[in-house]
Each structure stands twice: as C-alpha cells, then as structure tokens.
Amino acid sequence: MTISHNLLYIVTIFFTLFQLVFSLNEQMKTTPPLPILPLPSYSQLKWQQREIIMFFHFGVNTFTDSEWGTGHESPSIFNPTGLNANQWADTAAQAGVSLMILTAKHHDGFCLWPSKYTNHSVIGSPWKNGHGDVVQEFVNAAKARGIDVGLYLSPWDRHDSRYGQNKEYNEYYLAQLQELLNRYGGVREIWFDGAKGSNATNMTYYFNDWFSMVKELQSTINIFSDAGPDVRWVGNENGYAGDTCWSTINATSLSIGNASIANYINTGDSRGTNWIPAECDVSIRKGWFWHKSQKPKKLSELLDIYYKSVGRNCVLLLNVPPNTTGLISESDVQTLKQLRGAINTIFSFNLAENCHVEVSGTRGGKNGGFGPENVLDDDHLWTYWAPNEEDKENYWIEFKVKSGKIKFNVVRIQEAIGLGQRVKEHEVYVDGIKVVKETTIGYKRLHRLKLGIVEAHGVRIKIVKAKGTPLISSVGLHFDPFWKPKVDVTSKMVH
Ligand SMILES: *[C@@H]1O[C@H](CO)[C@@H](O)[C@H](O)[C@H]1NC(C)=O
Ligand SMILES: *[C@@H]1O[C@H](CO)[C@@H](O)[C@H](O)[C@H]1NC(C)=O
Ligand SMILES: *[C@@H]1O[C@H](CO)[C@@H](O)[C@H](O)[C@H]1NC(C)=O
Ligand SMILES: *[C@@H]1O[C@H](CO)[C@@H](O)[C@H](O)[C@H]1NC(C)=O
Ligand SMILES: *[C@@H]1O[C@H](CO)[C@@H](O)[C@H](O)[C@H]1NC(C)=O
Ligand SMILES: *[C@@H]1O[C@H](CO)[C@@H](O)[C@H](O)[C@H]1NC(C)=O
C-alpha cells in the first residue's frame, strides 16, 4: 500500500465514524418525564378514548309505559314482534359509538336472556315462543359491526322472592352474573347501581364478591358503579360533569348508593390516590325506557351535554331506548345522525393547523421529541408538548395566524393522561385578552367561548398550576356553527 492509499483509508474510516456519531446524535431523544400517580389501567385508557357509548333500556317497562316495574308484570306482555338488534347496532355505528350496554335485567326482575335460575324471563314470553334471547341477539349484532358489549344486571329485584334474604339473593345474583359473563364472549363494561327497595333496608349487596367474580371471568372489563372500581358515576343523570373534573379520587371515601358523595364524584379529587374516571349517563329522551308520548332531545341540548361530559374529561353514556316493536324509533335515529354530523362538522377541521406555534420552552430543546408540533398530530395520548421544567408555573403555548385572522368559538385542549392528570388551572387568551379561566383539563377539555365567535390573530393557552410539568397532547381551535351563546357579543372584545 502507498502512503496516499493509507491516507485515503484513514480519511474514509474517520468520515464513517463521524457519520455514525452524527446519526446517533440525531436518534438520541430526551426521555419522557416520570409519571405522576395514579395512572389509568389499559382498559380505562381504552374506555376513555371511546368518548360516546350507548345504553339500551329495554324490558317489560317498554310495554307498560313505565320507568320502574313492580316485579308483578306477566312475561306474556313482552312481545317485540319486530325486534332487530342489527338496527340498534347500525344506529350505534352511525353515531360513532364503539360500546353498547344492554339492561339484561332492570329493577322489575324480568330477564332478557333465558336464565337457568328463574322463569321470569323471555322464556315465559310469547316472543319467539319463549325461545328468544335478547342478550344473544344484542351481542351478535354488536360484534358483527366491531362494537364492544356491556351489560347491566340490576341488583334491585322486585320480582324474585329471594330478594331481602342476603345469602339466598346474593347467590342468585352471582349465579346470573356467571351466566352473563360466561355465555356471551367478551364483555367490556358491567354496570352496577345501588338501588334498593325501601322495604328491604336489610338487604346487603355483596359487592366485593360480585366484583371479584367479574374480574375473574372478564380480564379487560371495566366495572362501573357510584364508587368504581374502574369507572365512577358522575353523580347525576343529566349528563353533566363538574366544571372541575379529576379522574383521580379517593376510593376509601366512596360507597355505593350513598347520596352524600354526589358532589365528590362529580368533581373528583386533585389529591385522589385512585384513578376512577367519571361516566355521564343520560337519556336521549326524558325517560330511560321508551314511551310513546316522549320525543328525543333537541340537537342543541345534546351538544350541550356533549360539551359538559366529553368536554369535561368524561365518557358520555347516552341511552337510546328501543320501542315496543323492538326497534329504535326513527326520530331517535335521525337525532343521533344530526349529533354525529354536528360533532364531525365542528371537530374535523382544526384552525390551529394554519398557525405558527410558539411555546415557553420545551423539554430537551427543539429536537428532544417533545416540541409543540406534537399537539397538532393525530396521537392524543403518547405524543405531547412537554415544557421546560424550569419554567415552573409559567408555561404557555401560543398559536399565531400566518396571515389574516382565524374565526373560531371553541378551544380544545387535551392532556397526555397516560402519564397522569396534572393541570389544576389554565387560562386562554385571545389577542392578549383573557377569555377562559378554568381548572382541570384531563383527557379532553372543550371551551365554548362565551363571547361567541371570535376573529383573532393569536391564541395563547397558559398553564397556571399543575402537578409537576403539564403534558399537552393536543390543541384545537374550532368553529361550532350550532353554538349560540346567550349574550352574543360577536367578536367585540373590550380591553
Ligand atoms: C314459574 O315458576 C313458578 C314456580 O315454579 C310457577 O309457579 C310459575 O307458574 C312459573 N311461571 C311460568 C310463567 O312458567
Ligand atoms: C316489598 O314491597 C313490595 C310491594 O311494594 C312487595 O311486593 C314485596 O314482597 C316486599 N318485599 C319484602 C322483602 O318485604
Ligand atoms: C332488619 O333486621 C333487623 C335486625 O336483624 C330486624 O329487627 C328487622 O325486622 C329487619 N327488617 C326487615 C324489614 O326485615
Ligand atoms: C356516605 O358518605 C359519607 C361521606 O363520605 C360518609 O360519611 C358516610 O359514612 C357514608 N355512608 C355510608 C352508609 O357508607
Ligand atoms: C385523598 O387522599 C389524599 C392522600 O391520602 C389526601 O391528602 C386527601 O386529603 C384526600 N382527599 C380528601 C377529600 O379527603
Ligand atoms: C318503532 O320504530 C320503528 C322504526 O322507526 C317504527 O317502524 C315502528 O313503527 C316503531 N314502533 C312504534 C310502536 O312506535
């Protein structure tokens, strides 16, 4: 080898090494911050992302025009001659719903499946000559459309003679739970309430036994009750979460069927040691069961519910009751179509995408992987803007229009809850003027601006207080053409 060959050789090696180091440098990202406990479980995270789920109240009450049956109804009145669970599931799919929950048994004790432990069920009805099984048809229809299934089995039973005798009734209830959770494949949510007969104050529900059995039979199920353990009630049946709504709460302060916890479960607890997010149950009509005399709520009411449930860090459980034919009434189908259409209209376009983004600082600098560009991608959990830890309590992210102005009336902010819910206080400024001063964000927070439609050059979101560094996974500036604030001060902001 000549000297020049050697030199070329050395230069080549040096150059290769340089390239290697340079590319390694490019790949090396800053590590994510430590989580702030408690965290959601895998199943709770899946549940949260569903946003809207659907309840189907159906049973003897549908045929007696009542909300609470007496338990004395004859199974012979149950005859939904045109029952087609595919139509229910199509309705759910059209509404963008990924989980549908059925009242397998309501307080009247009538079972929508052929239970081995009672004849107060579809067995005694003329429907399909007593050979029908609504639960099976419900499950088949949902699964054929890729929709998950949930079930409600009322603890209160006004029919069964064992009700009131603790051992006998709890055995009966557990026997039915086993039937439902063994026979019908995967069940993703089970719904419990604490309702009791006023003449059965001594009746004790063995919730610990029930919950253990549920988890044994269905590993990815979420158990809903006033007190969780996986999903908690929001404390009312209007579909409204608290203005402040933490997914964290202290399980030790909760009990089922206890009216005095209604406010606590409505807002959660910033210092709570358990992750038990809230579900907002509400009916599309006044009643939970179908009544000929009732009509679905108006679109504006349903949107209000959406903003106060999904827009306050909760999942909306919307009840849509099948009628006596065994179908979802056309008026409900149309209303749901409108609701889904409206939500898509409002949120499919994000005006923030037309803006430059600036921030107070970024964890690991520009190329660390936590930059503000993450709030504009499609991942609302695992990519996020993480500010610089040193900027304590002075964190902000600002969107500046590239040219002209943007016209909007809704601000959407989301936290990367996979690392814990953190934000305690936040504010929104439009062209330097404070238009929102609120508390929690959570998975999703939606602010409809009280000012109405705003035309602006820039929007700044300030995180005023948080547990540790706030992690913002998504931000949206949207235009809601359906939103009519009570006082319309269109685009007039006063200093
Ligand atoms: C249900 O069973 C009870 C007790 O065995 C019996 O008295 C009743 O007639 C049965 N009802 C029906 C509808 O079969
Ligand atoms: C409770 O009252 C209902 C009537 O309101 C009755 O049918 C039922 O047998 C009573 N239950 C108990 C345990 O006394
Ligand atoms: C409830 O239990 C108490 C004590 O065991 C008993 O005295 C009372 O009669 C029971 N009440 C009912 C409604 O069964
Ligand atoms: C109901 O909740 C309150 C407030 O947490 C608590 O003090 C009370 O003991 C609870 N009652 C029952 C019966 O669990
Ligand atoms: C919840 O538990 C935490 C930790 O024990 C405690 O600091 C907090 O005060 C509790 N919240 C309430 C409302 O008692
Ligand atoms: C139930 O809804 C279906 C679908 O809209 C309709 O055809 C049927 O007439 C309704 N039944 C009753 C009793 O209203």
Structure tokens at 487: 């006082």
Ligand number, closest to the Cα atom of 201: 3
Phi, psi of 456 (to 5 degrees): -145, 160
22-26, 157-161, 344-348, 490-494: least confidently modelled range:
490-494
What is d(CA 386, CA 7) in angstroms, rounded to the nearest whole number? 47
Instruction: Tell me what the mean pLDDT of segment 317-327 comes to.
Output: 98
| Protein residue whose Cα sits closest to atom 3 of ligand 6 | 329
Instruction: Indicate which atom in ligand 2 lies nearest the CA of residue 197.
Output: 1
The pLDDT assigned to 485 comes to 84
Residue 130 pLDDT > 70, yes or no? yes
pLDDT digits (tens, 9 = 90+) for 96-120: 999 999 999 999 999 999 999 999 9
pLDDT digits (tens, 9 = 90+) for 219-267: 999 999 999 999 999 999 999 999 999 999 999 999 999 999 999 999 9
The pLDDT assigned to 494 comes to 40
Residue 66 pLDDT > 90, yes or no? yes
The pLDDT assigned to 199 comes to 79
- What element of type H or E holds 103? strand 99-105
Under the banding of pLDDT at 50, 70 and 90, the label for residue 339 is very high
How many angstroms separate the alpha carbon of residue 125 from the centre of ligand 1? 12
Residue 448 pLDDT > 60, yes or no? yes
What is d(CA 245, CA 281) in angstroms, rounded to the nearest whole number? 15
pTM of the shown model: 0.93
Residue 91 pLDDT > 70, yes or no? yes
Under the banding of pLDDT at 50, 70 and 90, the label for residue 393 is confident
**Residue 3: count of CB within 10 angstroms of its CB:** 7
The best mutation among 108, 158, 169 to test binding of ligand 2, ranked by most ligand atoms within 8 Å of the C-beta, falls on 158
Instruction: Tell me what the mean pLDDT of segment 2-14 comes to.
Output: 60
The pLDDT assigned to 487 comes to 61
> Ligand 1 in contact with 124 (CB < 6 A)?
yes
* CA nearest neighbour of 445 among 437, 453, 434, 457: 437
The best mutation among 202, 253, 255 to test binding of ligand 4, ranked by most ligand atoms within 8 Å of the C-beta, falls on 255
- What element of type H or E holds 433? strand 433-438
CA 9 to chain centre: 62
The pLDDT assigned to 121 comes to 98
HSE-CB at 178 with a 13 A cutoff on CA atoms is 10
SS3 5: helix
- What element of type H or E holds 143? helix 134-144
Asked if 403 contacts 449 with a C-beta cutoff of 8 angstroms, the reply is no
Instruction: Indicate which atom in ligand 2 lies nearest the CA of residue 199.
Output: 1
Instruction: Tell me what the mean pLDDT of segment 56-60 comes to.
Output: 98
How many angstroms separate the alpha carbon of residue 375 from the centre of ligand 2? 57
User: Percent of the chain, pLDDT > 90?
Assistant: 88
Angle among Cα 476, 54, 211 to the nearest 5 degrees reads 105
Under the banding of pLDDT at 50, 70 and 90, the label for residue 457 is very high
Asked if 108 contacts 75 with a C-beta cutoff of 8 angstroms, the reply is no
| Protein residue whose Cα sits closest to atom 8 of ligand 5 | 271
Q: What residues are in contact with ligand 6 under a 6 Å CB criterion?
A: 323-325, 327, 329-330
**List of domains in the chain:** 42-347 (3.20.20.80), 351-478 (2.60.120.260)
The pLDDT assigned to 24 comes to 54
How many angstroms separate the alpha carbon of residue 66 from the centre of ligand 6? 18
Q: Residue 387 carries which side chain, given as an amino acid letter?
A: P
* CA nearest neighbour of 74 among 125, 129, 127: 125
* CA nearest neighbour of 279 among 322, 244, 320, 245: 245
Residue 358 pLDDT > 80, yes or no? yes
Q: What is the mean pLDDT of the chain?
A: 94
> Ligand 4 in contact with 260 (CB < 6 A)?
yes
The pLDDT assigned to 426 comes to 98
Phi, psi of 230 (to 5 degrees): -105, -40
Beta strand residue intervals within 20-98, DSSP E = 52-56
How many angstroms separate the alpha carbon of residue 199 from the centre of ligand 2? 6
Under the banding of pLDDT at 50, 70 and 90, the label for residue 377 is very high
Q: Please report, in angstroms and rounded to a whole number, the separation of the first and last CA atoms in the chain.
A: 80
What is d(CA 229, CA 275) in angstroms, rounded to the nearest whole number? 9
Residue 492 pLDDT > 50, yes or no? no
> Ligand 4 in contact with 255 (CB < 6 A)?
yes
What is d(CA 435, CA 493) in angstroms, rounded to the nearest whole number? 9
Angle among Cα 95, 96, 100 to the nearest 5 degrees reads 85
Under the banding of pLDDT at 50, 70 and 90, the label for residue 34 is very high
Instruction: Tell me what the mean pLDDT of segment 18-42 comes to.
Output: 79
Q: Residue 413 class from Cβ within 10 Å (0-12 exposed, 13-18 middle, 19+ buried)?
A: buried
> Ligand 2 in contact with 68 (CB < 6 A)?
no
- What element of type H or E holds 210? helix 207-217
| Protein residue whose Cα sits closest to atom 13 of ligand 1 | 124
DSSP string, 230-268: SEEE-SSSSS---SS--SEE-GGG--TT-GGGHHHHHH-
pLDDT digits (tens, 9 = 90+) for 408-444: 999 999 999 999 999 999 999 999 999 999 999 999 9
The pLDDT assigned to 133 comes to 98
The pLDDT assigned to 14 comes to 61
What is d(CA 102, CA 100) in angstroms, rounded to the nearest whole number? 7
How many angstroms separate the alpha carbon of residue 119 from the centre of ligand 1? 6
User: Percent of the chain, pLDDT > 70?
Assistant: 93
How many angstroms separate the alpha carbon of residue 255 from the centre of ligand 3? 22
> Ligand 1 in contact with 119 (CB < 6 A)?
yes
The pLDDT assigned to 228 comes to 98
Structure tokens at 431: 């062209």
The pLDDT assigned to 72 comes to 98
> Ligand 4 in contact with 250 (CB < 6 A)?
no
Asked if 192 contacts 155 with a C-beta cutoff of 8 angstroms, the reply is yes
**Residue 177: count of CB within 10 angstroms of its CB:** 20
How many angstroms separate the alpha carbon of residue 184 from the centre of ligand 4? 36
> Ligand 2 in contact with 199 (CB < 6 A)?
yes
